Amino acid sequence: MQRISLAVANWKMNGTLAEAKRWAEDFAPVAPALEGVETVVCAPALHLPLLHASLPESVRLGAEDVSAYTNGAHTGDVSAAMLADAGVDWVIVGHSERRAEAGDTDERVLEKARRASEAGLSTILCVGETLEERRAGSTESVLERQLVSVLSGLKPGELAALAYEPVWAIGTGEAASPETAQAVARHLRGLVARHWGEERAARLPVLYGGSVNEKNAAQFFACPDIDGALVGGASLDPERFGHIAKALKARH
């Protein structure tokens, strides 16, 4: 079953406007070599209009988060419609940093996914267990709760990709082993199949995220259930992110 390959940069809260512009310029020569890989840059909301104007056309724009509300009195929020208006195609919901720092619950993550879908954005849902949860043997139940609470409130067409991001692997330099990532990706795909059927599950891209770099990326892309990566730190350097995206292209 053919699934799209996705190389997604998540810059998090990094970079000035000048740095964002330079990143786009430096990445431009790499972009033509990435045909067949959906390449997405998720950046701080303030940087999105500038990136929309400066990224090569083949590179898609993504937001790191979206409001759970449509519009109105929600100080500090950015709505899905505003993102779409700024040229955004993709959005991340449920990132562990939003869950931990901004208090995003499964219920709120579902509302965010709904708003994104209403605005025509493609949603990447992040799930992942903490080290304590893994040590306690509750990885599967945590992932199931995070995934099913969102799946059960959406239609199959309303989710574009899943990302497995174990919290203990994010920003630590300690990526999950490809075996662990593959086993979880398969488990997640099985849960999707149970809710939305085999066909939808077989077509849903599943990404791995957590200390992915230009050296370890190819190992993940060799896994049958892993269709790409969500890259934090290494994506701040266009050359490193380019190597990762090229490794994904090479798997075709």
CB of 198 to ligand 13P, least distance (A): 28
Bridge partner list, 59: 39
CB of 202 to ligand 13P, least distance (A): 24
Binder to ligand 13P among 230, 245, 247, 248 (CB under 6 A)?
230
- The span of 77-85, 153-161, 165-173, 193-201 binding ligand 13P (CB under 6 A) equals 165-173
Alpha helices in the chain (DSSP H): 17-27, 48-54, 80-85, 96-101, 106-118, 131-135, 139-151, 178-196, 198-203, 217-221, 238-249
d(CA 85, CA 189) in angstroms, rounded, equals 32
d(CA 124, CA 113) in angstroms, rounded, equals 9
Binder to ligand 13P among 30, 231, 247, 248 (CB under 6 A)?
231
**Smaller CB separation from ligand 13P, 125 or 231:** 231
- The span of 52-60, 145-153, 191-199, 226-234 binding ligand 13P (CB under 6 A) equals 226-234
d(CA 90, CA 92) in angstroms, rounded, equals 7
Residues 193-222 that bind ligand 13P (CB under 6 A): 209-212
CA 57 to chain centre: 20
Residues 104-163 that bind ligand 13P (CB under 6 A): none
CB of 43 to ligand 13P, least distance (A): 12
233 binds ligand 13P (CB under 6 A): yes
Tell me the DSSP string of 164-198: E--GGGTTSS-PPPHHHHHHHHHHHHHHHHHHH-H
CB of 248 to ligand 13P, least distance (A): 15
**Smaller CB separation from ligand 13P, 37 or 196:** 37
Which of the residues are catalytic? 95, 165
Bridge partner list, 125: 93, 162
Contact indicator for 45, 130 with CB cutoff of 8 Å: no
Size of residue set near ligand 13P by CB under 6 A? 14
Give the residues lining the site for ligand 13P (CB under 6 A). Answer: 10, 95, 165, 170-171, 209-212, 230-234
